[in-house]
Amino acid sequence: MVNIMIIKKELMITYSSDKKQEVEQILKDNLIEYKIKTLNRLTSSVLGTARSRIGMVGLKEQIEYKFYVKPCDYDLAKHLIAGQSI
């Protein structure tokens, strides 16, 4: 079976879990397929953990959510999350 999400376009990036939920709901309500790539910016790196460098300040904003959609859905999805109507 071929995965139709292989070719995808980055729709947006947010660090807010509230915004993530809002965008997910908009895409679901409009039957737009999407994928979310989550990056925990608190993971280890060569320079040490982000947590050790920044402490607990800004901890909530350290998870990055990247939304991807099919290129044919990109324009519609972009307008919907911007609160615009087509």
What's the pLDDT score for residue 62?
A: 85
Q: Where are the alpha helices (DSSP H) in the chain?
A: 17-29, 50-54, 74-81
Split at pLDDT 50, 70, 90, the class of 84 is low
State the DSSP H helix or E strand holding residue 68, giving kind and residue range, or none if neither. strand 63-69
- How many angstroms separate the CA atoms of 65 and 56, rounded? 20
At the topology level, CATH places domain 9-81 in: Alpha-Beta Plaits (3.30.70)
What's the pLDDT score for residue 2?
A: 55
Encoded amino acid at 42, one letter: L
- How many angstroms separate the CA atoms of 22 and 36, rounded? 13
pLDDT digits (tens, 9 = 90+) for 1-56: 555 557 899 999 999 999 999 999 999 999 999 999 999 977 655 555 555 555 55
Residue 57 has pLDDT above 70, yes or no: no
What's the pLDDT score for residue 83?
A: 87
- How many angstroms separate the CA atoms of 65 and 84, rounded? 22
